[in-house]
Amino acid sequence: MSLLFSPLTLRGTTFANRVWLAPMCQYSAVDGVVNDWHLVHLGARATGGFGLLLTEAAAVLPEGRISPQDAGLWNDDQTTAWARVVEFVHGQGARIGVQLAHAGRKASTYRPWSPTQGSVPVEDGGWPTVGPSDVAFAGYRAPAELSEREITDIVAAFADAAVRADRAGFDVVELHAAHGYLLHQFLSPRSNLRTDAWGGDLAGRSRLLLQIVHAVRDVWGDKPLLVRLSGTDWVDGGWDVEQTTELSGWLAAAGVDLIDMSSGGNEPASIPVGPGYQVPLAAEVRHRVDIPVGAVGLITEPQQAEQILADGEADVVLLARAALRDPSWPFRAAHELGLDHHEIAYPPQYRRGSWPDRVPAGR
């Protein structure tokens, strides 16, 4: 049996395989409400064999959206829309998780394909941004430093969104503490210049994330809770793998079930991008902390993904761009790794296209 296609169980929830869909923003929601685009985008990967689908970042507050077209989970209309997607994914035998997020100083920006980039002016549908300190991300307007009362309100907003996630039927919640968004901004000493209890040493900079973990765990019950981290900022004096490893131990003790390891995003940096370039970050945490870890970042080939698991560098792999190119990547991977097509849960409508196609001609 391929390791990639062996099941994984977290807190009693079993995932059919270890090929997971990474969160990818679609910038296509209206007032935070997902629609047919999201149903088809996620539904195609559910019929394509992924064991877990993680949604794009769903903002816990309107001002937490990356762009005006971002998805949200701060009201009932959004909950109802997500429930429709969840129901379809479950109908395909897949699991689905929602990534809860707040963009902080990287909020209120134009979506990537807009001819204009940077911060969206308030008069054009944007809004003032917030952060741990009044330090701007390069090319964006400076945020307002959050007050202690506002920080407490954000903790509550994450918990409220987790309650809605449960109502929508999600199997997993992932907290987005990577890519330079608000929780990562608090973690990094280059964006968090506070001298109060929410800044300073690693414990202070980690306080917001840990409070959110506890608040979400209290309402999420005994279901899997994931955290996405950037293992490093890729800049001197920033967030790094040593801090990531120590924080991961604290997260495990607080009830987090898996670390989804990415990197970068908090400021422009020289990143050594290449096949599996973030896998060593995942391996470092997995070897030093007793917590399952997911690896992501230019994992494109089945044997590459299988080897990451065989070498003990991660417990699951997450695909992003490769999954955009090939929504049924897991089926091709199973074939290339030598699994018989009867061992794979193809949708019956698609079995005639299985690898290899053993259905008699004309049927």
Active-site positions? 181
Chain centre distance of CA 286: 18
Scanning 179-278, the segments in alpha helix (DSSP H) are 182-187, 202-220, 241-253
Long-range contacts (CB closer than 8 Å, 24 or more residues apart) made by 88-93: 88/39, 88/42, 88/43, 88/46, 89/42, 89/43, 89/46, 89/53, 90/169, 92/43, 92/46, 92/47, 92/347, 93/16, 93/345
Write b or e for each residue in 294-306: b if 16 or more Cβ atoms lie within 10 A of its Cβ, otherwise e.
bbbbbbbbbeebb
CA atoms of 50 and 53, how far apart (whole Å) = 7
* CB count in 10 Å sphere of residue 113: 7
Partner residues linked to 206 by β-bridges: none
Sign of the Cα torsion 355, 359, 361, 363 reads: negative
CA atoms of 304 and 351, how far apart (whole Å) = 26
